[in-house]
């Protein structure tokens, strides 16, 4: 609960919005990045810490093939991004997880690799999953060239002119990542080791550092190729166009289950956002500084919405609605007496896309009320996974009624509500979703349909003695342990559950991706299908050679 003063000076309570209002995919699938997003908080951390970043190796041939090293001195602790660039035949350039070769590959390395280490990394990193790694490797990543914008930009720069601005803005990147791995995958450093490095404690900080440096490499690579082609006429990218370059990301279904599998983290992320919003809504008036920032950021959002394009009909309709609503939002900002008034007007009168953007703009315009929250968004999950064995069946049923009323209301007798199932592919060990009755793998279904799992749990608990402790239930019915833990987690982490049927015929897995990607710091959400999306990181962000010269990260 947060408080603000009403016009008479009396305190007025402003509560966090309830999970029943917030935790629906129809709303979460319209989430926008904000100062709380991990890419944004990384830049602030780097600036505040006085990080020094320099390119210490750039051993590339005229076609841009070779390796480069970017060293980051984080106030004493040094890490390096080692980038490898290789020739890739056109028929091998695919962004799906089944790919086995890429234009570029990367490792965020703890320290600075010597010649022997570079040789070892060069043998492993371009192979990605098939390589062998040590705990010195913090993050593993790969990316392909966006062939059209890469080639046309090299051609333009080599000829002494700038590339087409419309192309740059609509495509928005020279390289597109298809994986950024952390947390011990394939033998690289685990989360505890990375989080012990000062500056990389917060959620996804190491991943965002790697992506930010890959963006720098992508711009350097393009300029290098242009200079190598025509050393007498080539020019560098215009500073403004350079800022318009982000780093692309192509994401498949593998990301979708993350929010389901990590309810404690999801609760921390949403709680931080809701806490920031409540603190802002509690302010008695919209200050001149905040109003000016809101108008500036809304105008920038208008500009970006103008070149946000997609082939997905549902997302395109949302973009068109956002463009229209932004005109109305500008008027609301100019006249709103308080953040609460602006929030309420946007919630009532604007579409979901614009209403959620308004929340992000409010957070961006009130940095003092939000910038201390990112550290709360990286939380240990292990403690919350313990089963409260002393709780009784009656207590568990009460919790289910209180926290999972949405699940009990689902009608699973309707085949459309139980039409899908989640499983893991044997070949790539990646999540997949199938159609019940049509696709193979149903016998290996994963417990990701939380509503269905909780409904089954409630039905079975109702047949047990009310005073039976849960430790006995878990002992006698081990298949219920997973669901019992989710119920226990929900008691103290109310924002940890997506309050929708994740097995229904109308589910769009891409909606799950949108929510996570916004917290990571992505923009220009472009669903290629319900199962894969393309986005951009760090659009408009500073580069390593100029980030320390700015007073704040603004709204990019």
What does pLDDT average to over the chain? 92
Q: Is 6 left (phi over 0), alpha (psi -120 to 50) or beta?
A: beta
Q: Where are the alpha helices (DSSP H) in 307-375?
A: 313-335, 339-349, 352-364
DSSP output for 166-177: HHHHHH-EEEEE
Residue 386 clears pLDDT 50, i.e. is over it: yes
Cα–Cα distance between 153 and 440 in angstroms, integer?
45
Cα–Cα distance between 6 and 549 in angstroms, integer?
40
Percent of the chain with pLDDT over 90: 82
Average pLDDT over residues 106-120: 97
Average pLDDT over residues 384-401: 91
Of the listed ranges 288-292, 298-302, 434-438, the least confidently predicted one is 434-438
User: What integer pLDDT is reported at residue 381 of this predicted model?
Assistant: 80
Would you state the structure tokens that stand for residue 181, as one six-digit string? 């791995």
Cα–Cα distance between 279 and 283 in angstroms, integer?
7
Q: What is the pLDDT of residues 148-199, one digit of tens each?
A: 999 999 999 999 999 999 999 999 999 999 999 998 889 999 999 999 999 9
Average pLDDT over residues 490-494: 93
The SS3 of residue 159 is: coil
Average pLDDT over residues 9-23: 78
Banded model confidence at residue 287, pLDDT cuts 50, 70, 90: very high
Banded model confidence at residue 531, pLDDT cuts 50, 70, 90: confident
Residue 440 clears pLDDT 60, i.e. is over it: yes
Residue 6 clears pLDDT 50, i.e. is over it: no
Banded model confidence at residue 9, pLDDT cuts 50, 70, 90: very low
User: What integer pLDDT is reported at residue 555 of this predicted model?
Assistant: 56
User: What integer pLDDT is reported at residue 553 of this predicted model?
Assistant: 57
Q: What is the pLDDT of residues 69-110, one digit of tens each?
A: 999 999 889 999 999 999 998 888 887 767 889 999 999 999
Phi, psi of 52 (to 5 degrees): -110, 125
Residue 547 clears pLDDT 80, i.e. is over it: no
Structure letter (DSSP) for residue 528: E
Q: Which residue has the higher pLDDT, 316 or 256?
A: 316
β-bridge pairing 173-181 and 246-251:
parallel
Cα–Cα distance between 226 and 466 in angstroms, integer?
74
Residue 7 clears pLDDT 70, i.e. is over it: no
Cα–Cα distance between 538 and 524 in angstroms, integer?
11
Which residues fall within 8 angstroms of residue 17, CB to CB, at 6 or more apart?
Answer: 274, 277, 278
């Amino acid at each position: 609960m947060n408080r603000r003063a009403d016009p008479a000076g009396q305190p007025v309570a402003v509560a966090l919005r309830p999970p029943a209002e917030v935790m629906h995919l129809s709303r979460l699938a319209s989430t926008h990045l904000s100062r709380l997003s991990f890419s944004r908080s990384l830049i602030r951390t780097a600036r505040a810490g006085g990080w020094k970043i320099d390119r210490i190796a750039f051993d590339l041939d005229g076609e841009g093939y070779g390796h480069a090293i970017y060293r980051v001195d984080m106030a004493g602790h040094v890490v390096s991004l080692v980038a490898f660039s290789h020739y890739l035949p056109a028929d091998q350039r695919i962004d799906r997880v089944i790919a086995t070769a890429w234009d570029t590959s990367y490792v965020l390395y703890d320290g600075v690799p010597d010649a022997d280490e570079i040789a070892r990394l060069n043998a492993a990193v371009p192979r990605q999953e098939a390589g062998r790694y040590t705990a010195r490797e913090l993050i593993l990543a790969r990316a392909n060239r966006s062939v059209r914008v890469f080639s046309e930009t090299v051609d333009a720069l080599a000829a002494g002119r700038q590339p087409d601005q419309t192309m740059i803005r609509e495509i928005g990147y020279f390289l597109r990542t298809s994986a950024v791995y952390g947390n011990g995958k394939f033998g690289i450093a685990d989360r505890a080791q990375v989080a012990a490095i000062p500056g990389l404690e917060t959620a996804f900080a190491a991943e965002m550092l790697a992506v930010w440096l890959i963006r720098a490499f992508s711009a350097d690579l393009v300029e290098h190729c242009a200079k190598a082609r025509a050393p007498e006429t080539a020019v560098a990218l215009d500073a403004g166009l350079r800022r318009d370059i982000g780093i692309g990301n192509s994401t498949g279904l593998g990301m979708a289950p993350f929010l389901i599998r990590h309810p404690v983290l999801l609760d921390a992320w949403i709680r931080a956002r809701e806490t920031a919003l409540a603190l802002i809504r509690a302010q008695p008036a919209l200050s001149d500084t905040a109003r000016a920032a809101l108008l500036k950021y809304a105008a920038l959002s208008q500009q970006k919405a103008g070149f946000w394009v997609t082939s997905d009909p549902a997302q395109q309709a949302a973009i068109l609605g956002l463009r229209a609503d932004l005109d109305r939002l500008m008027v609301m900002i100019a006249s709103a007496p308080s953040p609460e008034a602006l929030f309420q007007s946007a919630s009532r009168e604007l579409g979901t896309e614009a209403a959620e953007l308004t929340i992000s703009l409010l957070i961006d315009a009130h940095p003092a009320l939000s910038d201390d929250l990112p550290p709360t968004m990286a939380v240990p999950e292990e403690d919350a996974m313990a089963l409260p064995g002393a709780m009784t069946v009656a207590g568990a049923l009460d919790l289910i009624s209180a926290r999972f009323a949405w699940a009990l209301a689902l009608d699973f007798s309707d085949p459309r509500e139980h039409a899908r199932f989640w499983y893991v592919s044997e070949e790539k060990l990646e999540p997949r979703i199938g159609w019940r009755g049509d696709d193979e793998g149903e016998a290996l279904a994963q417990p990701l349909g939380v509503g269905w799992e909780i409904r089954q749990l409630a039905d079975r608990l109702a047949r047990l003695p009310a005073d039976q402790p849960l430790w006995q239930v878990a002992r006698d019915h081990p298949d219920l342990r997973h669901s019992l833990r989710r119920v226990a987690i929900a008691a103290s982490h109310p924002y940890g559950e997506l309050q929708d049927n994740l097995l229904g015929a109308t589910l769009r897995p891409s909606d799950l991706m949108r929510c996570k990607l916004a917290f990571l710091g992505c923009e220009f959400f472009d669903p290629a299908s319900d199962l894969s999306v393309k986005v951009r990181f760090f659009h408009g962000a500073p580069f390593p050679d100029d980030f320390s010269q700015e007073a704040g990260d603004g709204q990019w």
